[in-house]
Structures are given as C-alpha cells and as structure tokens.
Structure 1
Amino acid sequence: MATTEECRDALTKLSDNLTRADGDVRGAMAFDRSLSCRITDLGITFAGRLRDGRIEVNETLNGPPREKARIRLAMTGDDLVAMVNGELNFAKAWASGRVKLEAGFRDLLRLRTLLG
C-alpha cells in the first residue's frame, strides 16, 4: 500500500509532467480551480489548486475535504502512484470506477484532453 509521502510525491510528479506537456494538454490545464484528491485507502485528502497547469497542494487533511473543491478526485494510493508512473491508464481506471472524477460540465470538457 502506498504511503502518504509516496502519494504526495506522485502528485508532485504529476504536476511536473503537466508543466512539460504538449500544447493540447497544457491548454486544457491552463485554468484556476480548487482541487481535492482523496486517497481512499489512507483516509486522507490532498487539497489545493489546479492553476496554470500546475497542481498546488496546500494541505493534507485526515478524512474528507472541509470544502467541496471544483475538481474532485478519489482513488487508492496505489492507483495514484500507478497512474503517475504510467502503469495504469487514467481513462480506463475512470471508466471502471477505480478512479472517481467529479467536476462541473465545463471543467470536464476542458479535462477531456487528459482522458484520451
């Protein structure tokens, strides 16, 4: 089972990958939204912002987030680490229910570039 530190490192790596992404992905991520990533097996939530193609984690909370973020992810720590390391396809994990993504319709449309 992935640790809190491994999950935090995976989010940092994902953020770094997004900043180096090509034009389509970078364009999809170039907005400012509150973001939460709930790690279900650890019972923690990373809360912060998705801003200009970068994930900024401002706090790690025990349990669910205090406020409902505009973009909400939920998954196990192992799935987060596997996705960031290229071992788990995000779209397949989302379609199968292993990863939950909740956001407004417009945000989902912008994020569709990441799901392909």
Structure 2
Amino acid sequence: MTSVEDCRAAIGKVSDRILETDEADRRKHLVERTVSLTVSDLGTVFDMRLTTNGLEDVTSRSTDSAGPKAQVRITVAADDLIDLAEDRLDFAKAMFSGRVKLDASFGDLMRLRKLL
C-alpha cells in the first residue's frame, strides 16, 4: 500500500521534473500558484507553492483539517500519484478518464498544459 511518505517522494519527483524544463520555458509558462493535492484514499492533503523553482513549502494535513483555499486543486488516488510521478500514467488521459480531478482557472490550465 502506498504511504504518505511515498506520496511526498512522488511530489519531489514532479518538482524535479519541473526543474528539468528549460528555465526560459518555466518563466514563460509558470506563474506562482498555491496548490493543494488531495490524496483521496489516504485522507491527506499536501499544500504547496508552484514556482519556477519547482514545488516548494510542501506540507501535509488531514482532509479533516481546514487549510487555505489553493488556486490550483488536484485530487488523485495515491497509486495514481505515484504512476504520474514515475511517468507511467499520462496526466491528460488520467484527467479525462476521471482518475485525476483538477480544479483551476482556465488561464492556469492553459499554462500548466505546457509543462504537463
């Protein structure tokens, strides 16, 4: 079974992947945003900031605990998060099949699609 620490490591891998993107592209397509990632089957929410330096200030809390409303909200199962981080699952396909729920403004969606 996937643990909260496995999910935290997956978030680190996604952050590393962001940093692998050319810095000019990151600056062009990324606007700093607050992000919440709800791991539905673990009852955990990861709050973080998306920046040109990757995902920063990652903290976790229970889904029962109130947190700040993030500008980008993602809901995913733990195993799917791991598969996304390991590049075994395509984000767009996962989103359109309902395995990933993404709640963000249209502008954020357009910018993020360049990096995902």
Q: Same fold (TM over 0.5)?
A: yes
Alpha-carbon offset, residue 58 of structure 1: 3.3
Is contact 1:38-1:44 (8 Å) kept? yes
Count of residues paired in the alignment: 114
The equivalent of 1:39 in structure 2 is: 39
Gaps of 5+ in 1: none
Structural mapping, 1:1-116, within 5 Å:
1-22=1-22, 26=26, 27-29=28-30, 31-63=31-63, 66-115=67-116
**What is the aligned-residue identity percentage?**
39
User: Which residue identity lines up with residue 92 of structure 1 in the other structure?
Assistant: K
Alpha-carbon offset, residue 24 of structure 1: 7.8
- The ranges of structure 1 where at least 4 consecutive aligned residues each deviate by more than 3 angstroms after the TM superposition are 22-25
Q: Could you tell me how far apart the structure 1 residues matched to 2:98 and 2:70 are?
A: 20
Gaps of 5+ in 2: none
User: Which residue identity lines up with residue 44 of structure 1 in the other structure?
Assistant: T
User: Which residue identity lines up with residue 21 of structure 1 in the other structure?
Assistant: T
* TM-score calculated relative to the size of structure 1: 0.88
Q: Could you tell me how far apart the structure 1 residues matched to 2:24 and 2:98 are?
A: 25
Q: Could you tell me how far apart the structure 1 residues matched to 2:24 and 2:75 are?
A: 24
User: Which residue identity lines up with residue 50 of structure 1 in the other structure?
Assistant: L
Q: Could you tell me how far apart the structure 2 residues matched to 1:110 and 1:53 are?
A: 16
Alpha-carbon offset, residue 114 of structure 1: 3.4
User: Structure 1 residues 24, 95: closer, same or farther in 2, change over 3 A?
Assistant: farther
Alpha-carbon offset, residue 52 of structure 1: 1.4
